[in-house]
Homo-oligomer: A and B are copies of this chain.
Amino acid sequence: MFKKRDNIKEVEEGKYLEPKFDENGLIPVITTDFKTGDILMHGYMNDEALKKTIETKEAYYWSRSKKKIWHKGQVSGFIQKIKEMRIDDDQDSIWLSVDIGVGASCHVGYRSCFYRSIPLGKIKNDQDLEIEFKDKKKIFDPKKIYKDEPNPTKL
Q: Identify the A interface with B (CB < 8 A).
A: 1-3, 5-8, 11-13, 15-17, 20, 28, 30, 32, 36-39, 41-42, 51, 54-55, 57, 82, 84-90, 92-95, 106-108, 110, 113-123, 125, 128-134, 151-155
Contact = CB atoms under 8 A, between A and B. Distances in A.
Nearest to A38: B37
A41 B108 CA distance: 26
A1 B123 contact: yes
Which 9 pairs from chain A and chain B are nearest by CB?
Answer: A37-B37, A42-B93, A90-B153, A88-B113, A17-B129, A86-B114, A85-B118, A3-B128, A89-B113
How many copies are assembled? 2
Contacts of A32: 37, 39
Contacts of A38: 37
